[in-house]
Amino acid sequence: MGGRKGYSLKKVVGDVRKIKKEKKELLEWIDEKNPGEVIKSTGKIIAKSDLALDSLATSLKFVDEIEAEEKKLQKESIKTRRKDLSKKWANFRKREGKKFDSTINRKIVDSINRALEGEK
């Protein structure tokens, strides 16, 4: 039985000292099982994180770039598509001069892979 992989907030947003209040709010809303407020708190955290905003903006540019290949990618197996997306993402980052740690790279590739799987 597999589950979703978890990542530390620091790995995703960088310096957590900038978001102490938002992190506290997020944890409270998670404990209270309030998805609407969890989303709001998450948005506040992303808005204050240069790392999260940069990775989000770069990944959106990447999605635009691979849009022409969407149908082809959807026909591939999940494993093959993940491998192809990883290579394409690495080449894209190199061209753009962007470096993210393995956690962010994995999250971006996995998210795009899941999105393509769901669009069949």
User: Tens digits of per-residue pLDDT, 67-83?
Assistant: 999 999 999 999 999 99
Question: What single-letter DSSP state applies at residue 107?
Answer: H
Q: Which helix (H) or strand (E) holds 119?
A: none
Taken in order 18, 54, 47, 67, is the CA torsion positive or negative? negative
Per-residue model confidence (pLDDT) at position 9: 78
Q: In the predicted model, what is the mean pLDDT of the chain?
A: 89
How far apart CA 102 and CA 114 sit, in angstroms, is 18
Query: CA geometry: angle at 45 spanning 51 and 21, to 5°?
Result: 130
How far apart CA 54 and CA 47 sit, in angstroms, is 10
Residue-range domain boundaries for the chain: 13-48, 51-118
Residue 2 CA, chain-centre distance (Å), reads: 19
5 Cβ contact list (under 8 Å, min separation 6): 106, 110
Region 13-39 average pLDDT? 92
Question: What single-letter DSSP state applies at residue 68?
Answer: G
